[in-house]
Structure 1
């Protein structure tokens, strides 16, 4: 009888140990030099997921901090016989990427591997973006529906039919901003010289005469041409997440938006000068099909005209030194989408 009781006790203890180890596997102890981006990459999850699972309000972490790296339940497993799932299985061929998706999650959902999805879709990296169509294989197991707040539609850039001149404007930068030419602006506005004045209202497109509004939809992100250098750039940019904002700063002790761009681009091997947002705008060219690593410009933030910038990193997001620190922000953000100006590519990257 004692032998039977001991055997039952040992089996119970073993099952509890197994359940506990599963729970511990969802945690990670922060090491010196870690960043949320590095931890997220190692565990095939996103920074936003880590922030949500750990109720973090910023990207700041410290050594020996316990971080949850999966949404696994912390309930201790019981040695019950697993039930046979009656969840329906549906065969699919394509999948549309949603906000928060990763290749790892999509692979698990469709019972395939990340490498298989990369091969099927000719992906050189793991960067994907909402709305992207991916070819998948195998079976997709329908999972319970989780209510998720759907972000607003991707920002669109409305190229208005007229433009009001602000301090510092020239016909050249106005033409560049609206994808037109100086000569066309002069013709549309019957100008005999390039002189303009603050407050002057200019027609900026050929359809202005009829009063039509031209809407430019948010372009689809294309794969980077120089994926090795771009990967280095994005890795360098992410390594400074949480670095304090410092006006005029251009070193790891603190950055402003242009100083941050200057530092990480040079770290990635692109020789760019230390200049401000207007200077970077002049050193780049508009792109209709932006790629990861391109610049995102914003206008009329703390001053009229081009006044802020960041780096496009995919998933409809950009990384920048803004607010009180270096951070990743969605282009769907209400404030930043209202200030969006254009996607540009530095001339040194061509």
Structure 2
């Protein structure tokens, strides 16, 4: 009887040991000099799966890095990871870590204002961590250190469209050199008034508006379009781009919409710029 009990105890110990072994086999701590090929061979897991389960974008490893070697460990229900899509910007200089948690290895340092792509999120205690990708590096950042770039983009797009809407309301007002009111506009007065009506103050003259804005190669509605060598040498005329290769401006006898394909304006075109 005692022999049977010992046998059962030994069997239970073996089962417990096997269960522990299974748990331990689901992760692997990288040793100095090891590669994905070595780990793939010893764990009998493909390199493709090792990369997938550990969100690796390259073959680079570092000593003491913990790798998942079992698909079970990557189940979102078991490790708290869920999908999270979006574009975010860093609020300050932050560290990108190998895993969620402040005790994990820093794999990159990111400057304030850097744009990051988020693919997953993980709740860790009272904190939420985002899995991000910036350049060729991926890792985890505390969500409270990021701000949504999608919201700012949306606000910017709305503001730009508002400028266009305000400018379009000013069509057919007579051209008046030096004009800044609905009694008559010159080109920069027209632009300044449209922006003011949409809630943004900008400078008064064509040259100061040119200096205040930044050049862009892919214009969006609400951007400024500048021309040169019209009634004087250098930058001398400005309008507001409205899309479809057209702009609205105070030119000729009145404020109007003109195509950038117009032979005169095409020959005078200088650049698109954004405030």
Fold conserved (TM > 0.5)? no
State which structure, 1 or 2, has the greater radius of gyration over its C-alpha atoms. Answer: 2
User: Quick one: higher RCO (CA 8 Å, sep 6+), 1 or 2?
Assistant: 1
Q: Greater share of strand residues, 1 or 2?
A: 2
Q: TM-score, normalised by structure 1?
A: 0.34
